[in-house]
Amino acid sequence: MPTYSSKWVGVVCAVGLLVMGTAAGQQPEWHGFEEALTVADSTGRFVMVAVHAPWCGWCHKMESDVYSSAGVRRCVSESFVATRLNRDDTDTRYRYRGRRRTPRALAAAFQADGVPATVLLSPEGEYLLHLSGFVEAEALRVLLAYVSTHAYRDQSYDAFRADPAGCRSQSAGPR
């Protein structure tokens, strides 16, 4: 027969596993493309565009391992509005900078020829930069910090990466 203390240990362990499982699988708040541009413009936040394709294994890995990481989620929620574009979609049309374009045409305009790709736009929707291919969570977090702190305006990425500020990593402790 279990003792009173062993019951509590079991409850605490079960709750801990549930919380860890939930936190690990959480995603940023994803918005539709046009909505993301509107929200970014009205709030002054940057836009992070995840360019993907349904068949792409690395895209699924970006979603499960990178966009869901605590450091990336924190940085996105502080300074970005997140949206996704299915690069293979040739039917949907979004209004961007006065023109209606398919997700494929938008990906091409953002120089995201392959998938996965991560595109960063200014709060006004202007293209800033993109990353092609799979990127580890910490590398993406540092790049998001580089943009969100406006360091991209006057500092090279390599200089910033040596001593990144903003969007602190998980190990940095409380802000």
Could you give all domains of the chain from N- to C-terminal order, each with its CATH number? 29-170 (3.40.30.10)
At residue 5 the predicted structure's pLDDT band, cuts being 50, 70 and 90, is very low
Q: Work out the average pLDDT over 14-42.
A: 72
Q: Following DSSP, what letter does each residue of 96-164 receive, concatenated? A: ETTEEE-HHHHHHHTT--SSSEEEEE-TT--EEEEEES---HHHHHHHHHHHHTTGGGTS-HHHHHHS-
Task: Please answer whether residues 63 and 48 qualify as being in contact, where contact means their C-beta atoms are separated by less than 8 angstroms.
Answer: no
- Inform me whether the pLDDT recorded for 43 exceeds 60: yes
Q: What is the pLDDT of residue 155?
A: 87
Q: What is the pTM of this model?
A: 0.80
The alpha carbons of the chain give a radius of gyration, in whole angstroms, of: 19
Task: Please answer whether residues 107 and 113 qualify as being in contact, where contact means their C-beta atoms are separated by less than 8 angstroms.
Answer: yes
